[in-house]
Structure 1
């Protein structure tokens, strides 16, 4: 398994992978693959990592700017994250996310936020104390990991491409 930065020419493979990964998910709305392209086109795809196995892209994670209470402060949003359906629950997504978080931390990011299942993201260090909110979602799925400074409070907003959905 090789984790590397997205390279020119990976776009179609990432798009198709994301479509396959989200297709069976009840919470998916079918826009996840196109959102990555929109982040890329707007310059908001801050970090885009892929997992390659035997020369084939089987995993992808995107990180983009986020703000809390209108302040960017070097916060990032995690997602979408995609893994080939027949390879899920084998640590590929966890490895991608961990690598991405390490990259953000090394680059001086203050933290990262996401919307997701606490059972999945809690073991990676994400938590919800109810201090940040997103739309009308329940607090337990609005999570963050703080790298430096105080835990933020307020309304979470993702990059414009993600907010339009």
Structure 2
């Protein structure tokens, strides 16, 4: 398996993957809109030895109280059903977490299952004084430092609402 940055030739394969993994086309449409509006920070694919795209993860900018601290939002993360349970999602996220700090992105938020995302080092954002712009189940909105600094250090007394790119409002 190879993990790499998405290439233009991957766009339709990513679109097909997302449409096959999620119940609706919302995530596929979101990724396309983020890409078209230049709001995609990092998009990685996992490929088989034959070049088939079997996994995808995307990161886009988020704001804290309308301020840009170069934080990122992870969404979506997808692995082809035929390849799930093989550590592909973990490998994609690990690669992203090694890459993002190199480009000055110190932290990441995610909206998802706390039991799943805690495996990647995410913790409850509400415990750090952060909330999501939408009403979400307790514990589902999570945060992680991507650097040696703790979230508390990165926040340095700040708290408030994390806002995603406008494309997320169209979901």
On whether the aligned pair clears a TM of 0.5, the verdict is yes
> Which residue of structure 2 lines up, in the alignment, with residue 109 of structure 1?
105
Aligned pair count?
160
> Which residue of structure 2 lines up, in the alignment, with residue 133 of structure 1?
131
Structure 1 moving runs of 4+ over 2 Å: 147-153
> Which residue of structure 1 lines up, in the alignment, with residue 61 of structure 2?
65
- The CA RMSD measured in Å over matched residues stands at 1.4
CA distance in 1, matches of 2:30, 2:125: 28
User: CA 1:139–1:67 in 2, change beyond 3 Å: closer, same or farther?
Assistant: farther
In 1, are the aligned partners of 2:18 and 2:25 still within 8 Å (CA)? Answer: no
Does residue 30 of structure 2 align to residue 30 of structure 1? no
> Which residue of structure 2 lines up, in the alignment, with residue 6 of structure 1?
6
> Which residue of structure 2 lines up, in the alignment, with residue 26 of structure 1?
none
Structure 1 segment 12-91 matched on structure 2, within 5 A? 12-23=12-23, 29-53=24-48, 54-91=50-87
Does residue 161 of structure 2 align to residue 155 of structure 1? yes
CA distance in 1, matches of 2:106, 2:123: 15
CA distance in 1, matches of 2:143, 2:137: 14
1:129 CA drift (Å): 4.5
Which ranges of structure 2 fall in alignment gaps of 5 or more residues? Answer: none
CA distance in 2, matches of 1:109, 1:15: 26
* Residues 34-88 of structure 1: CA deviation (Å, up to 9, x unaligned): 1111000000011010000021000001100001221120101001111101211
Which ranges of structure 1 fall in alignment gaps of 5 or more residues? Answer: 24-28
Q: Report the TM-score, using the length of structure 2 for normalisation.
A: 0.88
Deviates most, 1-10 or 128-137: 128-137
In 2, are the aligned partners of 1:157 and 1:163 still within 8 Å (CA)? Answer: no
SS at match of 1:121: helix
1:150 CA drift (Å): 2.6
Greater share of helix: 2
CA distance in 1, matches of 2:160, 2:137: 14
Q: Report the TM-score, using the length of structure 1 for normalisation.
A: 0.91
In 2, are the aligned partners of 1:133 and 1:139 still within 8 Å (CA)? Answer: no
